[in-house]
Structure 1
Amino acid sequence: MRIDVHGHLVPEEWLDTYRRAGPGTWPRVVDDPDGSVWVESSDVARWPVPPDLRDAGSRTDALRAGGVDSQLLLPPTPLADYALPAPAGRASARLFNETVSDLARHSAGRFLPSCTVPLQDPDAAVEEVTYAARRLDARAVLLGTNLARFQFDSDELFPFFTRVSELGLPLVLHPNERLGDERLARHRLANLVGNPVDTTVAVAQLIFGGVLERLPELRVCLVHGGGALPFLIGRWVHGAEALGVGRITRSPDAYLDQIYADTIVHDDRALELAVAVLGADHLVIGSDDPYAMGDPELYDRIARAGLSEDLLSATAGRLLGLDATATPAG
């Protein structure tokens, strides 16, 4: 089987609901005369929703043609907007979670539902992840790596992480607003450099802040091959000893058993490093579908690294609470 844990989609029902809501509601869906669709979450924040990000039918056809049996549907990270006022954030998250769950339920297993949560209101985030896991069959929780007024090791968020661990859901960390954006405006560096760096900062906070130590059952999946973690883990190990940093009792690499990464790295050497540091059994297939930064050589690269697609999909099945030997969808 091929199980892809990194696909993005906005259900049409989510868009239609906010279209009908009108101009007094955030988020706001805007249809331009040229046919393009945009979502506005404030007077200055705007992101596009091209057809391949919202058309579930064409996505199904593409997955079937590509031999992908199941794909985890993550919201595009601008949808998980922690800067929205808390009531708007709660409403947007609930609507995405319900509509993506409905889409998955009618897909014969082709789509797997994730959930997003309103972290601007940590108590509501606990409520929402519980609802999504128990009522909507959510298989993972998407978190943007920039949490607005919180850090990943903020005390206010620990009850949320505790609940996620209790529910047995993995966290999927995906970059949204990048650290140091003011220096990354040129040459698309916000994407090329900022995205993997922000993922690295987030997982470093989970490690050094003691979140993974306090919650040994919590599992974290990092997109884009784990960011810079595979390259930096040795520096972290040395720094923890030489500088005495972190609220942890063990070496930073002791927490790698709780960390997984997808295969979007665009370079054979980077994938080999991820295998060496995290282990083949902690990698999962990820396509970043339908974005342009997906890897056109994804499956060839996996083969060149000597990785078994069956192993990657079995790991994804365990991570998402699936039976990876189930009959393929369709």
Structure 2
Amino acid sequence: MLKIDMHTHIIPKTLPDWAKKFGYGDFIFLEERDDGKADMIQGGKYFRTIKENCWEEDVRIKEYENFNTQVQVVCTIPVLFSYWAKPKDGLEVSQFLNDHIIDLVTRYPKNYIGLGTVPMQDTELAIQELERIHKLGMKGIQIGSNINGLNLSEERFFPIFEACERLGLAVMIHPWNMMGFDEMRKYWLPWLVGMPAETSRAACSLIFSGALEKLPKLRVCFSHAGGSFIPTIGRIEHGFNCRPDLVAIDNDVNPRKYLGKFWIDCITHDIDMLKYMIKVQGSSKICLGTDYPFPLGDLEIGKFIEESDLSQQVKEDIFANSTIEWLNLDKNDYLK
């Protein structure tokens, strides 16, 4: 069975010292360690230690072979978005990261598919980079759940989504820069509570603003199983119905009607929750995703799905068919 993991992160082994070059900012820099790992340094402070599977393409392929998974969709680590940077500096960062992924996909076309990143802080430059990576063969982009605290419903972002629809580029929305981060650092709450809320924030913003209504051909995937959006759709719908003066001011379509019109990945870590997602979303809109290689992801790459009583058709949808539709791929290109 073909398996495509559509939610994985990668980083170049060597990053420029952008903070030194640009003279400011909390840009990520890697410091090599003696044990083969690397420390991510942000603004001169330790951020995280990562292993070689964050950058070594052959190591990644071998690890995926252990779970009979042939293809990885790769995108940058969200902390590298750098939306806070000056626009031209943000463009340079995006181009460097995109060129790394384009080179990887060119050398391993059967194993890797690329999603780019764009400087969302500047609409014109973001569209410029969209045009460039589209010509170079990228299938879509990954963006954050908010841009410097601004919701994705802001008018300045609509032309970017419009360009993605026009170019046929898919969009994956990933939580980052979680609201309330400083108030809930303890217990890893930004990742456990903040991330699901961020994804719901993004979904509600695109639905309530009417962006998804105006761009029906835009192919959007919300990571981490859509965060808290689908589990709280009853509350969201009730709010839409009881206070339309607050909720339905830009779009009068019931938010529940969008279920099955966008994609999510399958990272629930819970087969019963996944079955609920299948019930309300449909298996054709749920993709195999892992958040590899980070520990909060599904690092057994769909094992809980393989061992479940889900039908063969549902498994095939999740493991490959849904991603093929989302990214507009030719399945034959990845069958060996």
- SS in structure 1 opposite 2:100? helix
Partner of residue 316, structure 1: 323
Shift of 1:262: 0.6
Output the CA distance in 1 between the equivalents of 2:299 and 2:138.
28
Offset, 1:23: 2.9
Query: For structure 1, which segment, 101-110 or 62-71, has the greater mean C-alpha deviation from structure 2 after superposition?
Result: 62-71
Aligned to 1:76: 77
TM-score by length of 2: 0.89
Q: Which whole-Å deviations, capped at 9, do the CAs of 1:54-106 have from their partners, x for residues lacking one? A: 11120111122321111100111011121122222100101111110110111
Residue 259 of structure 1 aligns with an amino acid whose one-letter code is F
Q: Output the aligned Cα RMSD.
A: 2.1
Counterparts of 2:83 and 2:48, CA distance in 1: 15
Paired residues for 1:1-330 under 5 Å: 1-12=2-13, 15-16=14-15, 18=16, 23-25=20-22, 27=27, 29-31=29-31, 34=34, 36-40=37-41, 42=43, 46-134=47-135, 136-244=136-244, 245-246=247-248, 247-296=250-299, 298-303=301-306, 304=308, 306-307=310-311, 308-312=314-318, 313-328=320-335
The answer as to whether partners of 1:263 and 1:298 remain within 8 angstroms in 2 is no
Compute the TM-score of the two structures, normalised by the length of structure 1: 0.91
Is contact 2:260–2:280 with CA below 8 Å preserved after alignment? no
Aligned length: 324
Contact 2:67 2:301 survives alignment (8 Å): no
Is the CA contact 2:31–2:41 (under 8 Å) kept in the aligned structure 1?
no
Code of the residue aligned with 2:243 in structure 1: it is L
Give the residue type in structure 1 aligned to 2:20.
P
Name the CA shift for 1:83/1:47 in 2 (closer, same or farther; >3 Å): farther
From the superposition, tell whether residues 212 and 327 of structure 1 become closer, same or farther in structure 2 (CA, over 3 Å): closer
Kindly state the Cα deviation for residue 22 of structure 1 after the two structures are TM-superposed: 8.2
> Residues 103 and 94 (structure 1 numbering): CA distance in 2 closer, same or farther, change over 3 Å?
same
Ranges in structure 2 where 5+ consecutive residues have no aligned partner? none
Q: Secondary structure at the match of 2:304?
A: helix
Distance 1:238 1:188, change over 3 A: same
CA contact (8 A) 1:221 1:262 kept: yes
Change (3 A) 1:128 1:50: same
- C-alpha displacement at 1:168, in angstroms? 1.4
Q: For 1:280 and 1:33, how far apart are their aligned partners in 2?
A: 43
- Report if aligned partners of 2:224, 2:266 keep a CA contact under 8 Å in 1: yes
Does the CA-based 8 Å contact 2:39-2:46 persist in structure 1?
A: no
